Chain A
Amino acid sequence: MYLFLANIDFTAVDWPQAAARLHPMLLHLPIGLIVALALLEFPRLFRRSEPEHDRSRTLLVLLLAITTPLSAATGWLLHEGADYGSPIEWHERLGIGLAALSIAVAVAYWKRSENYTLGVLASFLLLLPTAHFGATLTHGSDFLTEPWEAAFSEVVVATPEESTNESPLLAEEEPVTGVDNALIPSEGNALVAIEVEKEELATAPVSVEQISYEDIAPILSEYCTKCHGERKRKARLALNTLEAILAGGEHGEVLVPGDPSASKLFTYLQEPLDTDEHMPPSEKPQPPAFAMEQIEQWILKVTADQLPTVPVSTGILAPSEERSTRTRGSRGSWRGSDDPLRTGLDFQRSPTFVPFALDPDLSIADLVTAYEGNLKRLDGPLSSAAGQATPELPITTDFFATSADPVSVATLRQHRVHVESIGENTPLLWLDFTAASLDGAQLTELLAPLASVIGELTLFGQNPNARDMTLIGMMPNLAHLDLRELDLTSQPNRSLSLRPLQGSTSISSLNLSSTEIGEGGPYSLALLPNLKRAHVWGSHISEPNLAFLARERPDLVLVGASPEPGQPLDVEPEVTFLKPVGDPMAETPENATCPVTSDPVDPAFTVLFEGRTIGFCCPNCPKPFQEDPQKYLAILDAQ
Chain B
Amino acid sequence: MQNTPLDPLAERKLLLNRRHFFGLSAGAFGSLLGRASLGSLLAGEAARGATLGQPALGPHFPAKAKRVIYMHMEGGPSQLDLFDYKPGLRNRYDQDLPESIRNGQRLTGMTSGQARFPVAPSMFRFSRYPNSQDGAWVSEAMPHTGGVARDLCIIRSMHTEAINHEPAITFFQTGVQQPGRPSFGSWASYGLGSANENLPAFVVLISQGFGNTQALSERFWGSGFLDGQHQGCKIRSGDSPVLYLNNPDGITRPTRRRMLDLVGALNEKEAARTHDPEVATRIAQYEMAYRMQMSVPELTDFSGESEETLAMYGPEVRKPGTFAANCLLARRLAERGVRFVQLYMRGWDAHNNLPKELRDQAGAVDQPQAALIRDLSRRGLLDDTIVLWSGEFGRTVYSQGTLTETNYGRDHHPRAFTSWVAGGGFKPGIVFGETDDFGYNIIRDPVSVHDLHATMLNQLGFDHTRLTHRSQGRDFRLTDVGGRVMHELLI
Contact = CB atoms under 8 A, between A and B. Distances in A.
Interface of A: 208-209, 256, 258-262, 270-272, 275, 277, 296-297, 300-301, 303-305, 334-337, 344, 347, 394, 396, 403-411, 413-414, 416, 418-427, 432, 434-435, 445-446, 448-449, 455, 458, 460, 482, 484, 509, 511, 513-514, 533, 535, 537-538, 559, 561-563, 565-572, 574-580, 584, 605, 607-609, 616, 619-620, 622-623, 626-627, 629
A584 B61 CA distance: 61
Contacts of B121: 575, 577
B148 interface: yes
A304 B2 contact: yes
Q: In the A-B complex, list the 7 residue pairs whose CB atoms are closest, starting with the nearest.
A: A565-B147, A535-B380, A335-B37, A406-B40, A568-B127, A577-B93, A562-B378
A577 B195 contact: no
Contacts of A344: 2
A283 B50 CA distance: 39
Interface stretch (B178-186, B226-234, B369-377): B369-377
A342 B78 CA distance: 59
A403 B91 contact: no
Interface stretch (B5-13, B413-421, B472-480): B5-13
B41 interface: yes
Interface in B39-79: 39-41, 43-44, 46, 48-50, 56, 58-63
A575 B90 contact: yes
Interface stretch (B94-102, B210-218, B323-331, B437-445): B94-102
B37 A566 contact: no
B126 interface: yes
B2 A449 contact: yes
Given A335-B35, A335-B39, A563-B377, 4 more contacts: A406-B41, A420-B192, A569-B128, A580-B93
A535 B126 CA distance: 33
A484 B380 contact: yes
Contact of B93 (A413, A449, A579): A579
Contact of B116 (A259, A509, A607): A607
B362 interface: no
A622 B115 contact: yes
Contact of A259 (B40, B126, B148): B40
B151 interface: yes
Q: Looking at chain B's contact residues, is the secondary structure mostly helix, strand, loop, or mixed?
A: loop
Contact of A413 (B5, B44, B151): B44
B37 A449 contact: no
A605 B115 CA distance: 7
B155 to A, nearest CB: 19
B450 interface: no
Interface string B1-37: 1111111101100111110000000000001001111
B196 interface: yes
B146 interface: yes
B10 A414 contact: yes
Contacts of B59: 420-424
B98 to A, nearest CB: 10
A577 B90 contact: yes
A424 B38 CA distance: 9
A10 B383 CA distance: 50
Contact of B125 (A258, A408, A574): A574
Contacts of A434: 195-196, 335-337
B113 interface: yes
A292 to B, nearest CB: 11
A605 B114 CA distance: 11
Contact of A408 (B1, B49, B130): B1
B14 A260 contact: yes
7 contacts: A270-B17, A335-B35, A406-B40, A533-B383, A563-B377, A568-B127, A570-B127
Given A426-B62, A619-B115, A270 B15 contact: yes
Contacts of A570: 127-128, 135
A484 to B, nearest CB: 7
A13 to B, nearest CB: 22
A601 B217 CA distance: 47
Given A408-B2, A411-B4, A484-B379, A572 B37 contact: no
A260 B8 CA distance: 11
